[in-house]
Amino acid sequence: MNWAERVSPAVRAIPPSGIRRFFDIVAETKGVISLGVGEPDFVTPWHIRESCVYGLQQGYTAYTSNYGLLELRQEIAKHCAATYGVEYDPRKEALVTVGVSEAVDLAMRAILSPGDEVLVPEPSYVSYKACVALAGGVPVTVPTTVENDFRLTVDQLEALVTPRTKALLIGYPNNPTGAIMPRDELAAIAAFAARHDLIVISDEIYATLTYSGTHTCFAALPGMRDRTILLNGFSKAYAMTGWRIGYALSNPDFIGAMTKIHQYTMLCAPVTAQVAAIEALRHGQCSVQKMVDEYNRRRRLMVEGFKNIGLDCFEPKGAFYIFPSVKQTGLSSLAFAEELLKAEKVALVPGDAFGACGEGFVRCSYASSTANLSEALTRIGRFVKNRL
């Protein structure tokens, strides 16, 4: 029996994540410094972990509402109103999800009909295009360039929009480039979305990790609140990747539709993580700020390090990634990553894992100790010197 042929063609057509494929090789190599995985090296702050332990002692072990604990939704709405000035009704306009990962999938499945097109700027997070395709949609790549600081322009979008375009899926600060979008340029994109009557899915999981300038919440732009499905979560800013908790905010119709799918597929997000997320929003700001300051110090170390090595490098403004060009070495992204791993035992992610326009770049995560980063820079410097 050929079981592989029994797998749905839609699933077969999706390539496995370029990051995972590469890290299977890393897992088998000893003594590697990995700057590959996009995951904080901090443990979740103790007061957040403790609130979960206390919650368990109190008997928080059952299903919650499909939408999530009302107390958490109220905290999320409060946080959003206080930080960005956007108001949501916690009863009808907020859904607690199993990470932003689930929220991206739900958003796509809730809005797309077969053949609907979704504009996806690249380089971008590896899940976006796969989620569009799995929901029956057609991802349309909008390539961004280092020459334009990896920013998205309305001219590019106008050139690719068609009568089948249903939505635009953006994520700033960006994984993998660290690019952010200035408010006036996002406002121009908002006008574009309104002109073409598009839904905007805005993944703002790195919003708090903005080091230069201020983060603009897309839903806060005039006229965008109801047109936007705003996604955010706890994985990055609160160092809570393993808890699997995030949320979506939007008008009651979109949130209702997403909740319908969520109730049949997930039922609810883990209650333990929901209890911890309440504590994170209520009292986590001080611990978050300490981590943000530390990431910012490391960001400067990396920018300086790549400058000294002699590789062209866009200065990231947010998230915890740096995306240097390796074109000067004459190697492709994949060859650079593979040869560096072999010669110097440093693991990076080839830029083309984030879309074809990421070719010629590599992604390094600086969510790693300063000692690791300094040693990795020394090794990368030695590797590059031998090739320039």
Name 168's bridge partners.
119, 200
Smaller CB separation from ligand PLP, 309 or 362: 362
Under rule CB under 6 A, which residues in 19-58 are in contact with ligand PLP? 38
Half-sphere exposure of 31 (CA within 13 A, CB side): 6
- Token duo for residue 186: 């996002």
* Beta carbon of residue 195, minimum distance to ligand PLP (angstroms, whole number): 26
Q: Determine whether 267 is exposed, middle or buried from the number of CB atoms within 10 Å of its CB (0-12, 13-18, 19+).
A: exposed
* Beta carbon of residue 387, minimum distance to ligand PLP (angstroms, whole number): 30
Q: What does the alpha-carbon distance between residue 29 and residue 23 come to, in Å, rounded to a whole number?
A: 10
By CB under 6 A, residue 241 contacts ligand PLP: yes
By CB under 6 A, residue 205 contacts ligand PLP: yes
By CB under 6 A, residue 125 contacts ligand PLP: yes
Residue 143: strand, helix, or coil: strand
Q: 306-345 mask for ligand PLP (x: CB under 6 A)? A: ----------------------------------------
Please choose, out of 1-9, 98-106, 217-225, 287-295, the segment that lies near ligand PLP by the rule CB under 6 A: 98-106
Single residue of 203, 279, 294, 344 touching ligand PLP by CB under 6 A: 203
* Beta carbon of residue 215, minimum distance to ligand PLP (angstroms, whole number): 14
Please choose, out of 99-107, 129-137, 248-256, 338-346, the segment that lies near ligand PLP by the rule CB under 6 A: 99-107
Q: Which of 154, 178, 136, 114 is nearest to 314 (CA)?
A: 178
Our CA angle for 103, 104, 106, nearest 5°, is: 60
Q: Spell 117-138 as b/e; 16+ CB within 10 A means b.
A: bbbbbbbbbbbbbbbbbbbebb
How many residues at the interface with ligand PLP, by CB under 6 A?
Answer: 13
* Beta carbon of residue 304, minimum distance to ligand PLP (angstroms, whole number): 24
- Token duo for residue 101: 């990962």
* Residues near ligand PLP, by CB under 6 A: 38, 99-101, 125, 171, 175, 203, 205, 233, 235, 241, 246
